[in-house]
Amino acid sequence: EEEIFKNVISHAKEYGFVFQSSEIYDGLSAVYDYGQLGAELKNNIKTYWWKAMVQMHENIVGIDSAIFMHPKVWKASGHVDGFSDPMIDNKDSNKRYRADQLLEDKIEQYYNDAIRIGIDERKIQFPDEPELVPTLIDLNHIRNKIKEGDPIDLSKFSDLVQYEYNSITKSDDYNKAISLQIEMDNALKAEDLPRLKALIEEHKIQCPISKTSNWTDVRQFNLMFSTQFGAMAEGAEEVYLRPETAQGIFVNFLNVQKSGRMKIPFGIAQIGKAFRNEVIARQFIMRMREFEQMEMQFFVRPGTEMEWYNKWKETRLKWHLALGTNPAKYKYHDHAKLAHYANAAVDIEYEFPFGFKEVEGIHSRTDFDLSQHQEHSRKKMQYFDPEVDPQTGKPYGNYIPYVIETSIGLDRFFLVTLINSFEEEDLSTEEKQDSRSVLKLHPALAPYKAAVLPLTKKDGLPEKAREIMDMLKLDFNMAYDEKDAIGKRYRRQDAIGTPYCITIDYDSLADNTVTIRHRDSMAQERVAIADLPKIIGDLVSW
């Protein structure tokens, strides 16, 4: 699996999809550039999202708000005070880590150990608080061993487990370990996660940090980038690069509602850059410091939010699957623990080679954001609802709408499409060994819709091919290639996901037909040049 991921990353670089930023200067960590084909694929994903969300819904409109916003916006939204990660420094190596990431690494290690020694995998899944899992399993395991009177074979466990074991049994008081376990079990059953965490901390049960290194305490580190606004050195104002696009929608809620005469329920969508100074960024374009979001805020009448939340939860998963992604690779992850502003939240997760990870979040954000902006800006954020409430016989009147948010990371979805479409096919026959790399992208997402390939570079074939290019290039993004043997050219188009290759040969000059080769089946058929616009149009239309 790791291998697949590595291959996807090198494929993305080799064919011009994704490059590391400032590569000639050894790169800038967690910042990436999209190359000539990556830019096309990214644009096609944006178009697909925009069409599905804005064009297909008469009650959703799209905006494009600025990256810079008034500093008070981030005070109101809670980002100034609350948008931070726990951070820890290793004083020996002078490296900085995200405390929970460090934990995650240990979990991974433990998880593998646990499976290796035969612990039932199902017991390892507590999706809402994965960081707690190893502790619980360790303790369970140890408790059972103690009960059964078995010796504990520490050689089979990681140093983490050994450490935990020591910390529990150091006092030689096994009963204490058992009662602690029961207490933790109860906390877990009652979903009292803060209590569980407190126990873990109190008993130093799960210390992800090696005992020998010299670590600082965990500190909170704000993830927003800031910069000085205006040219004045003194009194210059500190502004932030937005860490999410949503606030640009909230502050424009009334502008859009009034100028667009929008009636609740309605949505405002936007695609744009967001910036987060992630303490630890890794896994290629999964977690970047500069990334792009596609967000939609849907404003509803209070009391109807769960109905809309469920609708959007369903609608958004359909959007993911409509591109032919394997449904078995997707799952919902309902949050048991909610942010202070939310009354329901779910992640749409995709199974990456490194496990299930969030690609999109759907959140019921109540009236938190609009109320906060009303309070901080002292401007009314209310909507007048003229519809009559059947229960009272009177209009619903003025209220601050509730909000359902759908928020997808464009770069993460880009990675999903690459991983999902990348295949290395073995085409070996008895006579010879052969293989090809192919991106089986949905035709609507493919950077090029078709490639025009004259069989040879002479005898008028390139001229004929150019005529075909001219006929098609206004409507479709087309590739043209006359270099190398035809087989090699096919393979190159396979590797970049071009659904059709159009080959011009000597017969084409005589009868105005060409060969079309299909990327996935590699089947070829003869078609009239005049039919090409329709054939390609049908294939790539949404």
Residue 288 within binding range of ligand ATP, rule CB under 6 A = yes
Stretch that binds ligand ATP, among 11-19, 262-270, 329-337, 403-411 (CB under 6 A): 403-411
Residue 222 assigned ligand-binding role? no
The tokens describing 317, both together, are 């998963």
Q: Which of 183, 358, 425, 505 binds ligand ATP (CB under 6 A)?
A: 358
3-state helix, strand, coil in the chain (%, to 5): 40, 25, 35
CB atoms within 10 A of CB 468: 20
Smallest separation (angstroms) from ligand ATP to the CB of 291: 4
Q: Which residues contact 19 (CB under 8 A, 6 or more apart)?
A: 13, 32, 33, 34, 35
Residue nearest to ligand ATP (CB): 409
Smallest separation (angstroms) from ligand ATP to the CB of 42: 13
Q: Which of 38, 248, 409, 447 binds ligand ATP (CB under 6 A)?
A: 409
Instruction: Select from 509, 532, 503 the least CA-distant residue to 460.
Output: 509
Smallest separation (angstroms) from ligand ATP to the CB of 516: 37
Measured from the CB atom, the residue of 138 and 411 that comes closer to ligand ATP is 411
CB atoms within 10 A of CB 220: 13
DSSP strands (E only) in 35-118? 60-63, 84-90, 95-98
Residue 276 within binding range of ligand ATP, rule CB under 6 A = yes
The DSSP code sequence of 269-335 is EEEEEEE---SS--TGGGS-SEEEEEEEEEEE-TT-HHHHHHHHHHHHHHHHHTTT--GGGEEEEE-
Interface with ligand ATP in residues 228-247 (CB under 6 A):
244
Residue 292 assigned ligand-binding role? yes
Residue 294 assigned ligand-binding role? yes
Measured from the CB atom, the residue of 359 and 439 that comes closer to ligand ATP is 359
CA angle 191, 195, 199 (to 5 degrees): 125
CB atoms within 10 A of CB 442: 19
Residue 291 assigned ligand-binding role? yes
Measured from the CB atom, the residue of 401 and 409 that comes closer to ligand ATP is 409
Kind of pairing between the strands at 383-388 and 395-399: antiparallel
Stretch that binds ligand ATP, among 8-16, 47-55, 357-365, 428-436 (CB under 6 A): 357-365
Query: How far apart, in whole angstroms, are the C-alpha atoms of residue 15 and residue 17?
Result: 6
Residue 367 within binding range of ligand ATP, rule CB under 6 A = no
Measured from the CB atom, the residue of 52 and 288 that comes closer to ligand ATP is 288
Measured from the CB atom, the residue of 278 and 367 that comes closer to ligand ATP is 278
Q: 430 by DSSP, 3-state: which?
A: coil
Measured from the CB atom, the residue of 361 and 454 that comes closer to ligand ATP is 361
Q: Which residues pair with 228 in a beta bridge?
A: 238
The residues that touch ligand ATP, with contacts defined as CB under 6 A, are 244, 276, 278, 287-288, 291, 293, 358-361, 407-409, 411-412
Known binding residues for substrate are 98, 244, 291-295, 405-409
Known binding residues are 98, 244, 276-278, 291-295, 358-359, 405-412
